[in-house]
Amino acid sequence: MNHQHLHTAKDGITRCWWCSDDPEYINYHDQEWGRPVADDFLLFEKICLEGFQSGLSWLTILRKRENFRKAFAGFDFNKIAEFDENHVELLLQNSGIIRHRGKIEATINNAHRALEAVEEFGSLASYIWGWEPESPEPHLGKDICSYPIPAITKTSQLLSEDLKTRGWRFFGPTTAYAFMQAMGLVNDHIEGCAIRKSVVELGSEFLNPSQHFYGNA
């Protein structure tokens, strides 16, 4: 057990080090992070918010998440794909979100790409979960990863490259791995984290939608 990367919060519960004592981070860590997600809109939301996070902390995005949901139609990509330049200008005036034209336009672009994925794979989830690694992968890259979990893996790099080929924007390999961690494609709760066992159990019970799709194709 690597105690260096565990943190015992004021409630006496030992968790992954990164959520510290912040109540919002703790709730996100305990109730969301690493739990398998098969809902298309939640997957799309995370893809978009990871893009908006670039250069910022996840806590900053987490505290604005409800504002983002209101601004982007609950991350229903069917609706976002209909956004035009007028919507972009309105979003640039919305102080409740990150007002970055490139990221806003990328979200609209990615909504179109999500519709294409649904057309090809039956659902966005079927496409995404086709990238679930068979086993844990090491950190990839020349830089040294000082944490017990990777920042980039071979699969996250391949996922990022495939999405780029398909026309998605703001989704590099580091972003892709953070997405995989959050949506449960990998379980990076540290050994000794109080939440790890429940996430392992959820993962064992989870029906991979890509297997379901291909099994019925």
Confidence of residue 4 (pLDDT cuts 50, 70, 90): confident
Is 205 among the catalytic positions? Answer: no
Q: What is the pLDDT of residue 214?
A: 54
Q: Which of 17, 58, 131, 147 is catalytic?
A: 58
Average of per-residue pLDDT across 179-191:
96
Q: What is the pLDDT of residue 140?
A: 76
Q: What is the pLDDT of residue 217?
A: 46
pLDDT of 65 over the 50 cut: yes
Q: What is the pLDDT of residue 26?
A: 97
Residue 195, φ and ψ in degrees, nearest 5:
-90, -20
Is 28 among the catalytic positions? Answer: yes
Q: What is the pLDDT of residue 37?
A: 98
Q: Bridge partners of 14? A: 8
Structural domains of the chain ordered from first start: 3-215 (1.10.340.30)
Average of per-residue pLDDT across 46-60:
95
Residue 14, φ and ψ in degrees, nearest 5:
-90, 125
Q: Which of 17, 28, 131, 147 is catalytic?
A: 28
Place of tokens 């336009």: 105
Q: Which segments within the chain are labelled E, that is strand?
A: 6-8, 14-16
In this structure, how many other beta carbons lie within 10 angstroms of the beta carbon of residue 70?
A: 12
CA distances from 116 to 127, 152, 183, 195 (A): 11, 26, 21, 36
In this structure, how many other beta carbons lie within 10 angstroms of the beta carbon of residue 53?
A: 19
Q: Which of 25, 33, 45, 50 is catalytic?
A: 50
Vertex 109 angle, CA 108 and 110, to 5° = 90
User: How far is Cα 204 from Cα 134, in angstroms, rounded to an integer?
Assistant: 13
Q: What is the pLDDT of residue 3?
A: 63
Mean residue pLDDT of the chain comes to 92
pLDDT of 197 over the 60 cut: yes
pLDDT of 185 over the 90 cut: yes
